[in-house]
């Protein structure tokens, strides 16, 4: 199953095939950054406003994902297209609950990176100590640990409630979650959150007193870093897809 993705033009989630190709690229790109965790975390995306979304089948590595292997899943966790070996209840609870509650979101990235999990276990949360972190200043939600997300009603609703209208969430003692209206928006938030968590771990490990800018400057920076990007994530995403095309275009299959 091959299709042409307009690499240098505006990337839209217009058809199922557009979503499949871009989402497969997202899995591959995050694998190159080492942001996967065996078979345990998941990325999803949908056509804007659709009542179903795409996600990889439980058991694959991110580096193995192709456009045609992605599952199409209803917001209630029914498999509409594709085959899986094992039902991924926790994945469908997390993604389905958020899409139900947020018609503005069309991509969700849930990760367990070492730095993300480390910051998720810190009582202080994410500190505003790097330019990466200002993207999330007063714009980051937190969700208390509640074991595996196996209960669609209670845990899913609690997760969606805690995310509220934000686009990034720390799942305490567990990991991170970023979202976007587009795949490139969810990607860039995932990348910046990962960088912010890495910097925080490194800075705190140094044992020196850290510098936190005044609240007014943090808030200004939060606005400035967002306004700097006219279409958040598109520049970096397009560049990374070009790299993927050069190195391994099999993600489109
Ligand atoms: Zn998880």
Ligand 1 centroid, distance to 114 Cα (angstroms):
12
Distances (CA, A) of 180 to 79, 157, 165, 242: 23, 19, 11, 21
Ligand 1 centroid, distance to 112 Cα (angstroms):
6
Instruction: Give residue 150's pLDDT.
Output: 62
Ligand 1 centroid, distance to 249 Cα (angstroms):
28
SS3 content of the chain, % helix, strand, coil (to 5): 45, 15, 45
Ligand 1 centroid, distance to 215 Cα (angstroms):
31
Q: Round to whole Å and give the CA distance between 57 and 54.
A: 10
Instruction: Give residue 92's pLDDT.
Output: 87
Cα-only R_g, the chain: 18
Domains and CATH numbers, the chain: 16-244 (3.40.225.10)
Instruction: Give residue 182's pLDDT.
Output: 96
Whether the CB-CB separation of 176 and 190 falls below 8 Å is answered with yes
Ligand 1 centroid, distance to 167 Cα (angstroms):
17
Ligand 1 centroid, distance to 117 Cα (angstroms):
10
Q: Round to whole Å and give the CA distance between 183 and 164.
A: 19
Q: Sheet harboring 175-180: ordered strands across?
A: 79-81, 71-74, 52-55, 42-45, 107-111, 175-180, 168-171, 141-143
What is the pLDDT tens value at each position of the chain, 253 positions in all? 444 444 444 567 789 999 999 999 999 999 999 999 999 999 999 999 899 999 999 999 999 999 999 999 999 999 999 988 888 878 888 999 999 999 999 999 999 999 999 999 999 999 999 999 999 999 999 999 987 766 667 888 899 999 999 999 999 999 999 999 999 999 999 999 999 999 999 999 998 999 999 999 999 999 988 888 778 899 999 999 999 999 999 999 9
Ligand 1 centroid, distance to 94 Cα (angstroms):
9
- Identify the residue whose tokens are 């050069």: 246
Ligand 1 centroid, distance to 110 Cα (angstroms):
6
């Amino acid at each position: 199953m091959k299709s042409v993705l307009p690499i240098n033009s505006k990337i839209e989630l217009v058809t199922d095939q557009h979503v499949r190709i871009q989402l497969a690229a997202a899995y591959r790109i995050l694998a190159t950054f080492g942001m996967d965790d065996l078979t345990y975390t998941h990325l999803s995306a949908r056509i804007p406003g659709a009542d179903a979304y795409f996600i990889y089948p439980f058991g694959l590595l991110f580096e193995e994902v192709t456009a045609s292997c992605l599952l199409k899943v209803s917001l209630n966790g029914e498999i509409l297209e594709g085959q899986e070996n094992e039902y991924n209840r926790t994945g469908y609870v997390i993604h389905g609950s958020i899409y139900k509650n947020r018609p503005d979101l069309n991509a969700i990235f849930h990760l367990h990176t070492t730095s993300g999990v480390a910051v998720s276990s810190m009582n202080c949360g994410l500190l505003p100590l790097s330019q990466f972190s200002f993207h999330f200043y007063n714009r980051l939600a937190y969700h208390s640990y509640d074991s595996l997300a196996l209960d669609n009603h209670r845990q899913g609703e609690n997760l969606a409630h805690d995310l509220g209208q934000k686009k990034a969430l720390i799942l305490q003692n567990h990991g991170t979650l970023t979202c976007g209206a587009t795949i490139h928006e969810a990607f860039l938030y995932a990348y910046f959150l990962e960088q912010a968590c890495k910097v925080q771990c490194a800075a705190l490990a140094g044992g020196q007193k850290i510098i936190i800018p005044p609240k007014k400057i943090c808030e200004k920076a939060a606005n400035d870093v967002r306004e700097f990007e006219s279409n958040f994530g598109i520049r970096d995403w397009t560049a990374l897809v070009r790299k993927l095309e050069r190195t391994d275009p099999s993600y489109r299959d």
